[in-house]
């Protein structure tokens, strides 16, 4: 059994659900167990483990944050019933790549907290705190579906921006590819599409499902349904992507017309102008429809990420050395947040079906091993 297969078998059962997908929410038992695994891997390599007060975990070969250090790694948390590769592959690969490089190479491995935003609603929360992109007070007050705040889960007020970030020579995140474009084992990221999440609250009048005449209704579920269709249509027209994958209704009873429907729009486009136009069009059409339905729409931008273009020179150098293609992605990553502060690159490992955020996500062991070799090459020679 290869070193990769061995480590993969160690973490595979942690947080796996009956669906075959994973329930690895930030700072819950499965993710905390993976952090213990992380510490054990670091100890096996005499690496020093530090935490940054934001929930991010680091393992260092040499002095923590030593000037010239290259940081690699990814995240442990998953979307509900997500695949096992999205995030953990970057951390497992980092430990195995460190085993292969020069012993005097200064390297750090990160496990960033709440990258998916699956528990507290803001993606890349740990890397946004670490880079000072989000206010620690706002982060601390974010709550999960049980009303637990991020500050409570963390057990402290988040520390916020770390000045040490300026000492890093580069950041390299390895991640499973989540599109369908990569036809060779390893690719290099050029950019991340602008993307964001908008919470849409449709307020209406709760009433009896059986006795209320259709003409007397102010049913927010109707306006919500229209908004979902508008998002789909506008995205297709714009060559962009839009999804409403999460919805809540109050009182959420079969025989009650809802008083409130809350849906989250995830929208993404190749450039910010297209993204802005897409979201504006959806909000405009849904607001017009609310006028006809006698409902009210409130839209809250929960997190928006602008254009992320990775360090071109670094990406070109890596792609040339690895003889790998360079390609954009529609998925957000911690590396996208870090790229605004440190020369940053991403390596993608082929995902034959491209399916992700699903139990069906998969990468072959051979491609994962190729990713580890590529990461070792980059850490050793190219940063
Ligand atoms: O949603 C994303 O783009 C990433 O998987 N967090
Ligand atoms: Mn993801
Ligand atoms: Mn990810
Ligand atoms: Mn990531």
CATH code of residue 19: 3.40.630.10
**Binding site membership of 332 for ligand 1 (Cβ less than 6 Å):** yes
Give the count of domains, the chain.
2
Answer with the one of 249, 284, 305 that is the final residue of a domain: 305
Q: Are residues 148 and 217 in the same domain?
A: no
ipTM field: 0.91
Ligand in closest contact with the CA of 333: 4
Q: Are residues 301 and 313 in the same domain?
A: no
pTM above 0.90, yes or no: yes
Kind plus residue range of the DSSP H or E element containing 221: helix 220-238
CA-wise closest residue to 187 among 37, 355, 318: 318
pLDDT of residue 382: 74
Query: How far are the Cα atoms of 58, 91, 136, 375 from residue 165, in angstroms, in the given order?
Result: 12, 19, 17, 21
**Binding site membership of 116 for ligand 1 (Cβ less than 6 Å):** yes
CATH code of residue 252: 3.30.70.360
268 labelled binding-site residue: yes
The pLDDT tens digits for 308-327 are 999 999 999 999 999 999 99
175 labelled binding-site residue: yes
* Domain of residue 269, residue span: 195-305
Q: How far is the CA of 333 from the centre of ligand 1 (A)?
A: 6
Q: Are residues 147 and 273 in the same domain?
A: no
Q: Are residues 224 and 356 in the same domain?
A: no
Q: Are residues 183 and 329 in the same domain?
A: yes
Q: Are residues 9 and 99 in the same domain?
A: yes
321 labelled binding-site residue: no
Q: How far is the CA of 77 from the centre of ligand 3 (A)?
A: 8
Q: How far is the CA of 116 from the centre of ligand 1 (A)?
A: 6
Which atom of ligand 1 approaches the CA of 195 most closely? 3
CA atoms within 13 Å, Cβ hemisphere of 184: 12
pLDDT of residue 123: 97
Query: How far are the Cα atoms of 4, 187, 307, 347 from residue 318, in angstroms, in the given order?
Result: 23, 10, 21, 9
The pLDDT tens digits for 145-197 are 999 999 999 999 999 999 999 999 999 999 999 988 999 999 999 999 999 99
Q: Are residues 186 and 315 in the same domain?
A: yes
Q: Are residues 348 and 312 in the same domain?
A: yes
What are the residues whose beta carbon lies below 5 Å from ligand 4 (ion)? 115, 333-334
């Amino acid at each position: 059994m290869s070193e990769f297969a061995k480590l993969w078998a160690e973490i595979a059962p942690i947080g796996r659900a009956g669906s075959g997908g994973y329930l690895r929410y930030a700072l819950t038992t499965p993710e905390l167990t993976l952090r213990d695994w992380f510490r054990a891997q670091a100890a096996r390599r005499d690496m020093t483990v530090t935490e940054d007060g934001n929930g991010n975990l680091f393992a260092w070969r040499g002095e923590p944050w030593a000037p010239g250090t290259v940081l690699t790694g990814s995240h442990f948390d998953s979307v509900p019933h997500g695949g096992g590769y999205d995030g953990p592959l970057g951390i497992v690969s980092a430990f195995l790549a460190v085993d292969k490089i020069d012993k005097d190479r200064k390297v750090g491995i990160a496990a960033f907290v709440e990258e998916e935003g699956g528990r507290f609603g803001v993606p890349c929360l740990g890397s946004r705190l670490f880079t000072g992109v989000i206010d620690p007070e706002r982060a601390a007050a974010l709550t999960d579906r049980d009303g637990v705040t991020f500050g409570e889960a963390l057990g402290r007020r988040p520390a916020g921006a770390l000045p040490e970030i300026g000492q890093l020579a580069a950041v390299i995140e390895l991640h499973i590819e989540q599109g369908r474009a990569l036809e060779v084992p390893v690719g290099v990221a050029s950019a991340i599409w602008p993307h964001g999440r908008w919470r849409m609250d449709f307020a209406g009048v709760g009433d009896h499902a059986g006795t209320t005449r259709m003409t007397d209704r102010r049913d927010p579920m109707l306006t919500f349904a229209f908004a979902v269709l508008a998002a789909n249509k506008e995205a297709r027209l714009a060559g962009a992507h839009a999804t409403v994958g999460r919805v809540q209704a109050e009182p959420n009873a079969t025989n009650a017309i809802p008083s409130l429907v809350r849906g989250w729009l995830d929208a993404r486009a190749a450039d910010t102008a297209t993204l802005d136009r897409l979201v504006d069009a959806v909000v405009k059409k849904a607001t017009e429809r609310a006028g006809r339905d006698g409902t009210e729409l409130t839209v809250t931008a929960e997190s928006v990420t602008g254009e992320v273009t990775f360090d071109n020179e670094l990406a070109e150098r890596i792609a040339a050395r690895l003889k790998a293609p360079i390609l954009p992605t529609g998925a957000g990553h911690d590396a996208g947040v870090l790229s605004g502060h440190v020369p940053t690159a991403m390596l993608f490992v082929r995902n034959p079906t491209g399916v992700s955020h699903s139990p069906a996500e998969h990468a072959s062991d051979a491609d994962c091993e190729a990713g580890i070799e590529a990461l070792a090459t980059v850490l050793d020679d190219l940063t």
